[in-house]
Structure 1
Amino acid sequence: MTEQRREDWDPRSATVLQDQIRAYDTMRKQCPVAWSDYQQWTLFRHADLMQVLEDHKTFSNAVSVHLSVPNGMDPPEHTPYRRVIEPYFGPEPMARFEPQCREVARTLVQRLPKNEPVNVVEALSRPFALQIQCAFMGWPENLHQPLADWVQKNHQATLARDRQAMAEVAQEFDGYIRDLLNTRRQAGGQAPNDVTTSLMREQVNGKPMTDEQLISLLRNWTVGELATISASVSILVNYLAQHPALLRELKAAPDQLPLAIDEILRMDAPLISNRRVTTRDVNVGGKVISAGEKITILWASANRDEEVFGNPDDFCPQKNADKNLLYGAGVHECPGAPLARMELKVLMEELLKPLEALEMVKEHASERAMFPTGGFNVLPILFRQI
């Protein structure tokens, strides 16, 4: 059990939650390795995160007491699962999926109210994340609404650190996945030829994955995709609404979108943090952290570190690309990065085509999402179309 110690900060204070990004900027300068009862050790600097990401033996991903495939595993256990997953995000699968992704994006963009205020989160970012994930996995449309409701319940339980609620939410998701697996087994050779069916046929260490392993894998895959893609879309729309010159540049030169998207999401993180646990006593940023203590690695701060990026709000996509931790680094770098990048590029291409301008709606207040989620809960925007 961790000894009682004085808190360096309160991640849930009103001051922090009012503007998380600026609060993290301040902490990075004042106390870059900070203790709190809520997060235990929090790391704010880019260099300290790189120390963690490059030393998976000292900083373990096995934080949860529950099975977590492959997110909560370390090499060598992690390696065969990663080997199974990575081909699903290769160039050929991405090329095959892009037309379907574009159709989802185009349909949602065409349905947006024109020249009147709309909440981007409800009208675009959440529906896109949900529909695109189900399309990629081969899941039916009747799962859209249950999954949308589930995402909200999962976020609330995680924010509250309510273990019972988190367990109930996980069990609810498990039920959806078990139904999908059972339906495919009953269909036999007539089962749809999609990602879910293909995963059911994969082997790890010479054996098929158990239902528990498959469910854990699909839960981690889905939670990460739905939350971060939705947050990313709202962040991108908000940024372009406030930077009309950049919007015009990207509309004229859409080939610049991939680097621009990564850079905007560096400045305003869709995923705030991840966790690790130490396997030995270790010095991080001048502070000794004992074995067995939890660490929160704060992407939303490290990607704004002045020592690496200069002024964190300067838009410099080419200069900052190599140091950008948007998709992590090391053995746990996000395997789904090619899918996320393709989805966001396609959506922004479709959004910019008919667009003249994005305008903030001053009479309607936006509402930021709170830890552990980035982006917005409410983002009123007027889509001025040609």
Structure 2
Amino acid sequence: MAHSEELGAFDILLRYVDVKNAAKDWKTFSSRPSAVRPVAARARLAIDWDPPEHTAWRKIVDLGVDATTPDRIEGLVEADTVSLIDSFASKGECDLVADYCEQVPLQAICHILGFDPEHKAEIRRLSGDVLASLKEPERLRKALGEFSEIVAAPVLGRRGKEGRDFLTLLANAEMNGRPLDVQEITDTMVSLLLAGHETTVSGLSSLLYEVLRRPEVRDRLIADPDLIPAAVEEALRLHPPVFGFYRRVTSDVNIAGVDIAENSTTYLCWAAANRDPERFTEPDEFRLDRGPARHLTFGFGIHTCPGQAVARMEMNVAVAELLKRLPDIRLATDDIRHEFRGSETESISSLPAVFTPTS
């Protein structure tokens, strides 16, 4: 347990058991008024609600991502990775973040949501602007206004039409017996794009960093691709794209001998819980033989990330195809850094790599 006087003061849950227990107890650890700090006017995301409102919002989000989604788009993701690798394979070098990690999830989310390919660059820019401005109210209002103009029109244009793509499903969805308004459409799209794109970019970048900085791990995955899922889980455990979320305590509670008063703020720190030595042996090490110990990168309880299976599939496909096509790929520099991106997120901004050019 730790404490900070920043952002109005909050207690920080660090142990795996404490973070997990708090995450599953939404009645005591409420997401209201917001899962981020400072609390500011912004898109309301499903992570900001408790039941019954959360239940209604989660049903809307689940229209876009369900248990069938990974299998439905896996072939498309594989084709995208092949095309992306083809675009730089003959050069002998690339920036894996800009040329690959940013593109794979972006194309995947466009497949899921039903956006036309020509909107990809604009969607990428706007989703990044929204994420970066969550703690800057004026900048955020501007970013959300631009975002709304882009995402609302395609949805409203599908209202009353038939189709199984998410934009059409969202256009005809109802909240409490009525169609969604423009703000609710925008909030839903912000939730899906941030959760389905920005975080996967970060996760995939960290995965390639961990694999390629260790030639012996790279070679082992090439020899035994069945180990790739284990590599994915270790990268997600060590480098959660989102460090954690805030909760408001609804009644007095004692955690690890510390009294926390009603209406206090707590911070559920996935990043610390994922390295808790009481839960993980050699917690700071990247181990392919770690086994089934479950990390908390995708959250726990009612706010567990609905797109986690899609993210895992994208990361598995992306690293498998890259190692198959460019088996000697390696990092071009040791100077790689995970950088804070705002709103409890982090990512690698650049990942230069070199390899034998293909003809």
TM-score normalised by L of structure 1:
0.82
Question: Aligned letter for 1:136?
Answer: I
2-structure distance, mates of 1:87, 1:308: 35
Deviation, 1:247, is 1.6
Check 1:69–1:359 CA distance in 2 against 1; reply closer, same or farther (3 A cut).
Answer: closer
Contact in 2 for aligned 1:262/1:321 (Cα 8 Å): no
Q: Aligned pair in 2 of structure 1 residues 232, 63: CA closer, same or farther (>3 Å)?
A: same
Query: In the alignment, is residue 309 of structure 1 matched against residue 285 of structure 2?
Result: no
Instruction: Give structure 1 stretches of 5+ with no counterpart.
Output: 1-31
How far the C-alpha of 1:316 sits from its partner, in A, is 4.1
Q: Does 1:55 align with 2:25?
A: yes
8 Å CA contact 1:365–1:380 kept in 2: the answer is no
CA distance in 1, matches of 2:97, 2:338: 11
Query: For residues 204 and 14 of structure 2, what CA distance do their matches in structure 1 show?
Result: 25
Count of equivalent residues: 349
| Contact 1:368/1:378 (8 A) holds in 2 | no
Alignment of structure 1 residues 70-85 onto 2, 5 Å = 70-85=46-61
Residues 348-368 of structure 1 show CA distances to partners (whole Å, capped at 9, x for unaligned) of 221121122232223x84343
Give the drift of 1:126. Answer: 1.3
Cα RMSD over matched residues?
2.5
What letter corresponds to residue 22 of structure 2 in structure 1? V
Amino acid aligned to 1:329: F
Q: Give the share of equivalent positions with the same residue, in percent.
A: 25
Q: Secondary structure at the match of 2:262?
A: coil
One of 143, 148, 152 as aligned partner of 1:178:
152
Written as runs of structure 1 = structure 2, the 5 A alignment for 1:3-42 is 32-38=1-7, 40-42=10-12
TM-score by length of 2: 0.88
**Structure 1 residue 88: Cα displacement:** 4.5
In 1: Cα distance, 2:100 partner to 2:187 partner? 28
Whether the aligned pair in 1 keeps the contact of 2:15 and 2:276 (CA below 8 Å) is: yes
Question: Counterpart of 1:374 in 2: which secondary structure?
Answer: strand
Distance change >3 Å, CA 224–CA 383, structure 1 → 2: farther
User: CA 1:200–1:98 in 2, change beyond 3 Å: closer, same or farther?
Assistant: same
Is 1:373 the equivalent of 2:342?
no
State how far apart, in whole Å, the 2-side matches of 1:169 and 1:36 are: 29
Instruction: Using the TM superposition, give the Cα deviation of residue 104 of structure 1 relative to its aligned residue in structure 2, in angstroms.
Output: 1.4
Cα distance in 2 for residues equivalent to 1:369 and 1:310: 26
Alignment of 1:1-386 (within 5 A): 32-38=1-7, 40-64=10-34, 68-86=44-62, 88-114=64-90, 116-158=92-134, 161-185=135-159, 188-189=160-161, 193-316=164-287, 319-362=290-333, 365-371=335-341, 372-384=344-356
Encode CA deviations 1:11-64: one digit per residue, 9 max, x unaligned: xxxxxxxxxxxxxxxxxxxxx322131473332221221121121001111233
Larger helix fraction of residues: 1
1:384 Cα offset (Å): 4.1
Structure 2, unmatched stretches of 5+, are: 35-40
Deviations 1:115-162 (A, max 9, x none): 63422211111122222212211112232222222233234323xx22
8 Å CA contact 1:34–1:42 kept in 2: the answer is yes
Give SS of 1:306's match. Answer: coil
